[in-house]
Amino acid sequence: MKERFYLFKRHGIYYVEDVTTGSQHSLKTKDGTEARRLWHAKNEAVRCPTLNVAMAKVYLSALDPKMLERTWQDVMNEFCTRGKQQTQEDRRRVAKRRPQNLLRNLKLVETTADDVMGVLKAGGAMTNAFVRCLHNLALGLGWLPWPILPSKLWPVVETKKKRGITWEEHQRIIVAEKNVERRLYYELLWETGAAQTDAAQICAEQIDWQRRILSYQRQKTGEWAHLQIGRPLEDLLRQLPSTGVLFVKIAKTNNSARSAEFRRRCRLLKLNGISLHSYRYAWAERARACGYPERWAQNALGHSSRAVHQAYAKAGVAICPPLDDYERMAKKVQGTLMPVEEAANRAIPGESSGLLLQATN
Query: What does the pLDDT look like over 181-239, one tens digit per residue?
Result: 999 999 999 999 999 999 999 999 999 999 999 998 888 778 888 888 999 999 999 99
Instruction: Give domain 167-359's CATH superfamily.
Output: Intergrase catalytic core (1.10.443.10)
Weakly modelled stretches of the chain, pLDDT under 70? 1-2, 46-65, 303-319, 333-361
Distance CA 227, CA 200 (A): 16
Domain extents in the chain? 5-47, 72-153, 167-359
Q: Please, which residues bridge with residue 245 across strands?
A: 203
Burial 38-62 (b: 16+ CB within 10 A, else e): bbeebbebeeeeeeeeeeeeeeeee
The alpha carbons of the chain give a radius of gyration, in whole angstroms, of 30
Residue 335: what pLDDT?
Answer: 56
What DSSP letter does each residue of 159-227 carry, written as one string?
PPP--PPPHHHHHHHHHH---HHHHHHHHHHHHH---HHHHHT-BGGGEETTTTEEEEE-TTT--EEEE
Residue 247: what pLDDT?
Answer: 95
- Which of 134, 97, 325 shows the shortest CA–CA distance to 229? 325
Residue 5: what pLDDT?
Answer: 80
Contact 340, 329 (CB under 8 A): yes
For the chain, give the number of residues.
361
Residue 248: what pLDDT?
Answer: 93
Distance CA 26, CA 9 (A): 9
Residue 187: what pLDDT?
Answer: 96
Q: How many CA atoms lie within 13 A of 29 on its CB side?
A: 12
Residue 8: what pLDDT?
Answer: 86
Residue 319: what pLDDT?
Answer: 63
What pTM does this model have?
0.60
Residue 59: what pLDDT?
Answer: 52
Residue 235: what pLDDT?
Answer: 94
